[in-house]
Chains A and B, each alone.
Chain A
């Protein structure tokens, strides 16, 4: 034990020279659900404002989560703030009666019903260390370094178990280092220094000493669902200095996004179908080809018009359903496509749910009426004028020529609702002499937001359903497709991309993003 200043210097140097770092990442399924709910349903955006009650719930929930992210504090421990959080949810639910509040409550109960996943990792590492390397004369030879949010809960947990550890913050660790046994860091070191002012590489550089000049010779980085993974670089005192060797018990977080079957023999690309289409309502699109249980399925996407491809990826932690740009699609990726009217209805229903929760006084039907009215006005104008005349009319109203040309294709695609800005909408209306009702744009904006939020909600639901399906990546590799039939996600297919056409074809805008047969008709599995 260091008794003089020089002893301390020598002990610190010896600790650094012996430093070994190992990392372990743990899945925490129930916490993942809570975090996902908070991110997807309790995040305020300009499109999706939250009520004061919801904001309060979200704030308390994030505070609780950050305590749970801090270390092995029992998630139902009173110091986490869980009691107040559950009270707030109950009060908010009584007032607002929102399904998402009930979902959050259920998810929280799931988390608090179990132990913290890091608790076992810490206690078993310490008992293993005692067997391997008994340290005498030290009453507390090990150290748990916490950011600070979970300190009282973790301290209590350690005392109850009689663990020979000190539980300290990073600055206390700096003051009192070194410890002779194990040191535990929870999540990547940058967590400890990140703030509104210090982030990213700067935070990693400030906290890098936890690994490069550590408080104990054997450091364990334990992270779990909700933590960022340990960075590969940036903890050393300057660029180019040796990084700490991190021994990882597990492979890095694996993201699966390639579901090509092992044998590629049975596949052949097909020619694009001939679409009989009205010239005004087509778009130049690129074809993706799938093979669902031996049957050819096609889908066409335009980078700007119509729906964007939605992909499904799998990681150790979660299933991600994400809209991506067309150019990032690769062979073997898994796309989600609607295969029946049920899929469309699911989106409509989700839109209605959103309107019900957020837009009292506005309905999707009224908004859709305005959308159709706007499109009809464009079609009527084009019935008596050429596309060139419409472009000229838009330009006369001050719209850029590039925008005006692409606008005509976009406005006629089924997914288009309205221009983003009201001033642009007003100009288009003036160009086509549409006498629009005053409140029309407000309805259209609501509809656009509602659709976006409904899309996100559906993505969440689909991801949740997919997480319940066993061996999904293998099923995709074996069959090239998986069809969802569960309530709320029926009419949705997961399809593996087998071919991406390099040659664009003209496709009716209403066909974009749909699952089609090789003849160009709607595909039904």
Chain B
């Protein structure tokens, strides 16, 4: 993860701390790491946290492109979901384009799960984000620069998921946050750039914003990796949606000024959760935020009928 920008406010540095450390925190076997961020508002903070959790690209990646799978990838500088077939000789047929993996690097890609049901056309990548990556991504002396679109695609392969009852808000907030240019490192800038709501953007944006209802209904949700789940509000936390990614690290954003707090306390206080040790995060109050981390049994949740949840 990249260091914070020099002008990053205290609260943002704390969000970066939890976003950076939670995914790698050690927890007892059978437990998954969880964080809680209580704040006087849940506006802007989920996006800031998600942007801080997005993984910057690297020069090395393993492409899963092989015959007989369908992948989400970048072809001709556009996002495309394409079937992969065997081409002539050692070549692969990637949606009509012949590529020879023994001679050129394959683009970053994600294999679409069997039950993938998102019908979507090829689309252009956000040009500003790609430009930013080209400009900021360090190229070692003598090395060839990487394709900017590929760098962006890399950041989308293990997205951060924001679950919120008001997905439209997150996209507006990302725009407002991004305008504070000196708060962010380039990875955060890229992650927030052109944030859009909906499942159509899975593997096409570093952050995916979904309502819990949408997330719960995805037939393939548990077959795709996520970096971190951000649940906005306790009712979202208690919906079945986040349990689609039980073993992924998850953060609850709690509005201290809502009745969520007393509901959360009823669920959390005096419950025996596992310990997660992240220095500076457990029961910390700073910068207007209160934070903690704990381990939740990854298998405790059993499927519940949707109509039992008042979403």
Give chain A's interface residues, CB within 8 Å of chain B: 4-6, 8-10, 12-17, 174, 177, 198, 201-202, 205-206, 208-209, 212-213, 236-242
Residues B288 and A5 in contact, CB atoms below 8 Å apart: no
Q: Report the stretch among B37-45, B86-94, B188-196 that lies at the interface.
A: B37-45
In chain B, positions 276-311 with a C-beta closer than 8 Å to chain A are: 283-290, 292
CB nearest to A237 among chain B residues: B38
In chain B, positions 37-95 with a C-beta closer than 8 Å to chain A are: 38-41, 43-45
Q: Report the stretch among B16-24, B144-152, B207-215, B255-263 that lies at the interface.
A: B255-263
CB-CB under 8 A for A213 and B288, given A237-B256, A238-B268: yes
- Which residues of B have CB within 8 Å of A241? 38, 283, 285, 290, 292
The distance from the CB of A199 to the nearest CB of chain B, in whole angstroms, is 11
Residues A242 and B290 in contact, CB atoms below 8 Å apart: yes
Interface majority SS on A: helix, strand, loop or mixed? helix
The distance from the CB of B14 to the nearest CB of chain A, in whole angstroms, is 10
Residues B41 and A237 in contact, CB atoms below 8 Å apart: no
Q: How many A-B residue pairs have CB under 8 A?
A: 105
The distance from the CB of B241 to the nearest CB of chain A, in whole angstroms, is 22
Residues A17 and B287 in contact, CB atoms below 8 Å apart: yes
Residues A177 and B40 in contact, CB atoms below 8 Å apart: yes
Kindly state the separation between the CA atoms of A240 and B265 in the bound complex, as whole angstroms. 11
Kindly state the separation between the CA atoms of A13 and B43 in the bound complex, as whole angstroms. 11
CB-CB under 8 A for A205 and B39, given A6-B176, A212-B290: no
Kindly state the separation between the CA atoms of A242 and B289 in the bound complex, as whole angstroms. 11
In chain B, positions 99-134 with a C-beta closer than 8 Å to chain A are: none
Q: B30 near A: Cβ within 8 Å? A: no
Give chain B's interface residues, CB within 8 Å of chain A: 9-11, 36, 38-41, 43-45, 172-173, 176-177, 179-180, 254, 256-257, 259, 261-262, 264-266, 268-270, 283-290, 292
- Which residues of B have CB within 8 Å of A15? 40, 288
- Which residues of B have CB within 8 Å of A10? 9
- Which residues of A have CB within 8 Å of B44? 5-6, 9
Residues B256 and A240 in contact, CB atoms below 8 Å apart: no
CB nearest to B284 among chain A residues: A242
- Which residues of A have CB within 8 Å of B290? 212, 236-237, 241-242
Kindly state the separation between the CA atoms of A521 and B15 in the bound complex, as whole angstroms. 77
- Which residues of B have CB within 8 Å of A205? 261-262, 265
Residues B39 and A239 in contact, CB atoms below 8 Å apart: no
Residues A13 and B262 in contact, CB atoms below 8 Å apart: no
Residues A13 and B256 in contact, CB atoms below 8 Å apart: no
Q: Which of A16, A208, A213, A239 contacts B270 (CB 8 A)?
A: A239
Residues B173 and A237 in contact, CB atoms below 8 Å apart: no
Q: Which of A6, A9, A201, A209 contacts B256 (CB 8 A)?
A: A209
What are 18 sample pairs from A and B whose C-beta atoms fall under 8 A apart?
A4-B176, A9-B41, A12-B39, A13-B11, A13-B40, A174-B257, A202-B266, A206-B262, A208-B261, A212-B290, A213-B38, A213-B39, A213-B40, A237-B38, A237-B256, A238-B36, A238-B292, A239-B268
- Which residues of A have CB within 8 Å of B265? 201-202, 205, 237-239
Residues A12 and B41 in contact, CB atoms below 8 Å apart: yes
CB nearest to B177 among chain A residues: A6
CB nearest to A214 among chain B residues: B40
Residues A202 and B262 in contact, CB atoms below 8 Å apart: yes
CB-CB under 8 A for A237 and B261, given A6-B176, A10-B9, A242-B290: yes
Kindly state the separation between the CA atoms of A15 and B288 in the bound complex, as whole angstroms. 7
Residues B11 and A5 in contact, CB atoms below 8 Å apart: no
Kindly state the separation between the CA atoms of A10 and B269 in the bound complex, as whole angstroms. 29
Kindly state the separation between the CA atoms of A6 and B261 in the bound complex, as whole angstroms. 23
- Which residues of B have CB within 8 Å of A5? 43-44, 172-173, 176
CB nearest to B48 among chain A residues: A9
CB-CB under 8 A for A8 and B43, given A15-B288, A237-B256: yes
Residues B269 and A239 in contact, CB atoms below 8 Å apart: yes
- Which residues of A have CB within 8 Å of B11? 13, 17
- Which residues of B have CB within 8 Å of A177? 40, 257
The distance from the CB of B247 to the nearest CB of chain A, in whole angstroms, is 23
Kindly state the separation between the CA atoms of A202 and B265 in the bound complex, as whole angstroms. 8
The distance from the CB of A391 to the nearest CB of chain B, in whole angstroms, is 48
- Which residues of B have CB within 8 Å of A237? 36, 38, 254, 256, 261, 264-265, 290
CB nearest to B260 among chain A residues: A237
CB nearest to A244 among chain B residues: B285
The distance from the CB of A179 to the nearest CB of chain B, in whole angstroms, is 13
Q: Which of B9, B40, B176 contacts A16 (CB 8 A)?
A: B40
Residues B269 and A12 in contact, CB atoms below 8 Å apart: no
Residues A206 and B259 in contact, CB atoms below 8 Å apart: yes
CB nearest to A173 among chain B residues: B257
The distance from the CB of B118 to the nearest CB of chain A, in whole angstroms, is 31
Kindly state the separation between the CA atoms of A515 and B178 in the bound complex, as whole angstroms. 82
Instruction: Taking A9-B44, A213-B39, A238-B38 as given, write out 9 further A-B residue pairs in contact, using a Cβ cutoff of 8 Å, ordered by the A residue number.
Output: A13-B287, A13-B288, A202-B266, A206-B259, A206-B262, A209-B261, A238-B268, A239-B270, A242-B283
- Which residues of B have CB within 8 Å of A212? 256, 290
Kindly state the separation between the CA atoms of A202 and B261 in the bound complex, as whole angstroms. 9
Q: Which of B45, B266, B270, B286 contacts A9 (CB 8 A)?
A: B45
Residues A6 and B270 in contact, CB atoms below 8 Å apart: no
The distance from the CB of B251 to the nearest CB of chain A, in whole angstroms, is 14
- Which residues of B have CB within 8 Å of A14? 288
- Which residues of A have CB within 8 Å of B269? 238-239
Kindly state the separation between the CA atoms of A22 and B17 in the bound complex, as whole angstroms. 31
- Which residues of B have CB within 8 Å of A8? 41, 43
- Which residues of A have CB within 8 Å of B264? 237-238
The 4 closest A-B pairs by CB, nearest first: A13-B288, A16-B288, A213-B40, A205-B262
The distance from the CB of B269 to the nearest CB of chain A, in whole angstroms, is 4
- Which residues of A have CB within 8 Å of B39? 12-13, 16, 213
Kindly state the separation between the CA atoms of A241 and B290 in the bound complex, as whole angstroms. 7
The distance from the CB of B171 to the nearest CB of chain A, in whole angstroms, is 13
Kindly state the separation between the CA atoms of A415 and B173 in the bound complex, as whole angstroms. 74
Kindly state the separation between the CA atoms of A205 and B41 in the bound complex, as whole angstroms. 16
Residues B257 and A209 in contact, CB atoms below 8 Å apart: yes
The distance from the CB of A185 to the nearest CB of chain B, in whole angstroms, is 14
CB-CB under 8 A for A12 and B176, given A213-B257, A236-B290: no
- Which residues of A have CB within 8 Å of B177? 6
- Which residues of A have CB within 8 Å of B292? 238, 240-241
- Which residues of A have CB within 8 Å of B288? 12-17, 213
Kindly state the separation between the CA atoms of A198 and B264 in the bound complex, as whole angstroms. 15
